[in-house]
């Protein structure tokens, strides 16, 4: 991945961070195939996120298989998103302008090695996903947990099903009536590996997430988006996505976004 300004490609186990701690998983990140945006003066930094994927030459069948899965997952996610809009008493196409055209969808193939290779049980630390919805395909091994009423609840695999997580964009749009799913993955026990394929249904990078006009009975239950000073949410999609990528992959950030890191570097002590 360090070769890609778009944060695409392979990451070794321990190479991605969640809240500053290493996640014990290896993975291949894939986005929507598009040409890069020419970088000229005044162009927002998040435009660097658009571009091609990195595909392993030794696996020629991987690209068509994953792009086909991506297309099927997009169809399912759109159906679900329209259902969420209707449940919020909005037109079914309320979110269409935010993702239509050039959405920033993303997916991963993830392998969690067994605990014999690490002293930590953090497969992935607690976090929310940044898009509208996440569709997760799990293998038969446990590890996924969601936060509910202050406790962690196992999400055991059910054959031929997908796990659906609400993302930060729906939390922002609904003023917190819908809450993004806080979840984590516990490293499997020694001698066991876990495979998962999450698909993240996102918005256009140039979009701004609106605040929906909810009916009174729903608006009364909307608590506002969760406030986390260590992970602020932005309604500008590109800004939100870039913030997340820079935090989770510091090696890519140093190579391709050093100008941003320098701009936000704290001043040296006198």
* d(C-alpha 64, C-alpha 52), whole Å: 14
Position 118 scores a pLDDT of 63
Kindly give the pairing relationship between strand 144-148 and strand 151-154.
antiparallel
Can you read off the two tokens belonging to residue 85? 């809009």
Where do the domains of the chain lie?
9-36+46-263
- Residue pair 4/15 in contact (Cβ under 8 Å)? The answer is no
- Flag whether pLDDT at 197 surpasses 90: yes
Which residues are CB-contacts of 4 (< 8 A; sequence separation ≥ 6)? Answer: 51, 54, 252, 256
Band of the pLDDT at 266, cuts 50, 70, 90? very low
pLDDT tops 50 at residue 268:
no
Residue 24: per-residue pLDDT: 92
pTM of the model: 0.93
> Could you read off the pLDDT of 147-174 as tens digits, one per residue?
999 999 999 999 999 999 999 999 999 9
Q: What is the pLDDT of residues 93-141, one digit of tens each?
A: 999 999 998 899 999 999 999 887 666 789 999 999 999 999 999 999 9
What is the DSSP track for 170-207?
HHHHTTTSS-PPPEEEEPPPTT--EEEEEEEE--BTT-
More confident residue, 231 or 224: 224
Whole-number pLDDT of residue 245: 94
Q: Which fold has domain 9-36+46-263?
A: Jelly Rolls (2.60.120)
Contacts of 148 (CB under 8 A, 6+ apart): none
In the prediction, which pLDDT does 269 show? 41
> What pLDDT digit, counting tens, does each position of 38-80 carry?
988 889 999 999 999 999 999 999 999 999 999 999 999 999 9
Per-residue model confidence (pLDDT) at position 114: 83
Contact 183, 146 (CB under 8 A): yes
* pLDDT-based confidence at residue 267 (cuts at 50, 70, 90): very low
The torsion of the CA quartet 55, 80, 155, 67, rounded to 10 degrees, works out to: -10
Q: What is the pLDDT of residue 231?
A: 73
pLDDT of 227: 63
Per-residue pLDDT at 250 exceeds 60:
yes
Closest CA to 168 of 138, 202, 125: 202
Q: Token pair for residue 169?
A: 């964009």
Q: Look at residue 241 in the predicted model and tell me its pLDDT.
A: 94
State the DSSP code for 86: H
């Amino acid at each position: 991945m360090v070769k890609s300004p778009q944060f695409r490609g392979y990451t070794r186990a321990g190479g991605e961070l969640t809240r500053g701690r290493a996640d014990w998983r290896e993975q291949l990140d894939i986005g929507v195939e598009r040409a890069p945006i020419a970088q000229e003066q005044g162009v927002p930094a998040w435009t660097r996120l658009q571009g091609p994927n990195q595909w392993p030459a030794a696996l020629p069948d991987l690209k068509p298989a994953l792009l086909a899965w991506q297309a099927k997952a997009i169809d399912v996610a759109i159906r679900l998103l329209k259902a969420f809009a209707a449940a919020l008493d909005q037109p079914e196409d309320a979110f269409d302008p935010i993702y239509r055209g050039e959405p920033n969808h993303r997916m991963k193939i993830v392998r969690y090695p067994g605990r014999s290779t690490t002293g930590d049980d953090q497969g992935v630390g607690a976090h929310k996903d940044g898009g509208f919805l996440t569709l997760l395909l799990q293998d038969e091994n446990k590890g996924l947990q969601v936060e509910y009423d202050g406790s962690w609840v196992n999400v055991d695999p059910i054959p031929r099903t997908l796990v659906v997580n609400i993302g930060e964009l729906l939390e922002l749009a609904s003023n917190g009536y819908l809450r993004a799913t806080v979840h984590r993955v516990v490293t499997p026990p020694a001698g066991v590996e876990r495979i998962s394929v999450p698909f993240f249904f996102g918005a256009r990078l140039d979009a701004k997430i609106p605040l929906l006009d909810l009916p009174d009975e729903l608006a009364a239950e909307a608590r506002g988006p969760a406030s986390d000073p260590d992970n602020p949410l932005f309604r500008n999609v590109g800004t939100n996505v870039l913030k997340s990528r820079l935090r989770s992959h510091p090696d890519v950030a140093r190579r391709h976004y050093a100008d941003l890191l320098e701009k936000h570097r704290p001043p040296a002590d006198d």
